[in-house]
Amino acid sequence: MNCIKTMLTPSSVLHPLNKNMAFVQQKPLLFSLIIFCFIAAASSRGPIYAPPNVPRLTDSFGHVPIDQGYSEFFGHPNIQLTNNGSNANLTLDKVSGSGLASRSKYKYGFFSAAIKLPSGLTSGVVVAFYLSNADVFPHNHDEIDVELLGHEKGRDWVLQTNIYGNGSVHTGREEKLYLWFDPTQQFHLYSILWNNHHIAFFVDNVPVREFIHSNASSSIYPSKPMSAYATIWDASEWATHGGKYPVNYKYAPFVASFGEMEMEGCIWNTTGSASPCSRRSLSSSDPVDGETFAKLSQEQINGLQWSRRKLMFYSYCKDTARYKVIPPECKDSS
């Protein structure tokens, strides 16, 4: 399997559905080697797009029961706690979506959720796990988004990430990539690391995006306390192919399952204490703003490069039609 990956040039591999076309573009003299690889891949079990080994960052943190760490945000009848409060099923139906909000606000931290997406035709349905403080700072809010966009029949699943800092909503900083698995079959881990050094997004612990706190990004770097949210909602206007495929409620209800919630770092607490951070009992020795979390490790960088080369198909940094002047922080990432 590895031989296929190494032979394909990055530009010819956009996502799994393109793989047959990609082969056609290869030089003929590689043909027999390709056939060999095909046979090797077909006879092995794993997906062709197996990610490289990365450290299991999510193992560094404990799970927070949803009934302790979160409260209802909206759509009360559509929120169902399961598994003794450690999991939640969030439903979107004709009447409403639903969502959870963390009870605490965080100045920085590690946030993770195991999510299983609704199966079936889910165009227009968005399942989101994100940080925001729009409730407290309506005009200069910060936001760090992981959005799982619904798919159409026969197409792949798309994950979108986005960042707003200090109310910078006029500049979308979206990136999109194809997932390398079917997110409706099992739970997968979607995580956000946010501290004063950088923001990193992970899928099953593989980094898919890093946003560095640099001089170029400092004016729009999220730096005010935020809550964590888990939601499902109708984004018919834009989610799937720019709104071409709205939610089809013939297939409702849409149920997303959440579990293995992790939230660790600086809990914002201004009442009484000298330090604004009151940490919950840390299972890791290093607070999430410390040296261990200041940079990606070399293995994580390899994972980041892998995911971006193979699976990313949109970055605002490359969107010259949208941005005549590419935002300055784009120089930070290669």
Ligand X SMILES: *[C@@H]1O[C@H](CO)[C@@H](O)[C@H](O)[C@H]1NC(C)=O
**Binding positions for ligand X, rule: CB under 6 A:** 65, 80, 82, 84-85, 89, 104, 116, 140, 166-167, 215, 219, 255, 257, 267, 269, 271-273, 278
Instruction: Confirm whether 147 is a catalytic residue.
Output: yes
Judged by CB, which is closer to ligand X: 52, or 253? 253
Q: Confirm if 165 and 142 have CB atoms less than 8 A apart.
A: yes
Judged by CB, which is closer to ligand X: 16, or 222? 222
CA 81 to chain centre: 23
DSSP state of 75: -
Judged by CB, which is closer to ligand X: 242, or 272? 272
What is the amino acid identity at position 245? Answer: Y
Q: Give me the residue label for tokens 């009934």.
A: 67
Q: How far is the CB of 221 from ligand X (least distance, A)?
A: 7
DSSP state of 63: P
Instruction: Confirm whether 72 is a catalytic residue.
Output: no
From the candidates 72, 143, 175, 291, give the one annotated as an active-site residue: 143
Buried b (16+ CB within 10 A) or exposed e, 278-290: eeeeeebeebbbe
Q: How far is the CB of 81 from ligand X (least distance, A)?
A: 9
Closest of 191, 210, 193, 199 to residue 112, by C-alpha: 191
Q: How far is the CB of 328 from ligand X (least distance, A)?
A: 11
Judged by CB, which is closer to ligand X: 43, or 273? 273
Q: Report how many helices (DSSP H) and strands (DSSP E) the chain contains, helices first.
A: 5, 16
Judged by CB, which is closer to ligand X: 101, or 267? 267
Q: How far is the CB of 27 from ligand X (least distance, A)?
A: 42
Cβ-based neighbours of 224, under 8 Å, separated by 6 or more:
133, 136, 137, 141, 142, 166
| Cα–Cα dist 148/243, whole Å | 15
Catalytic residue numbers, as ranges: 143, 147
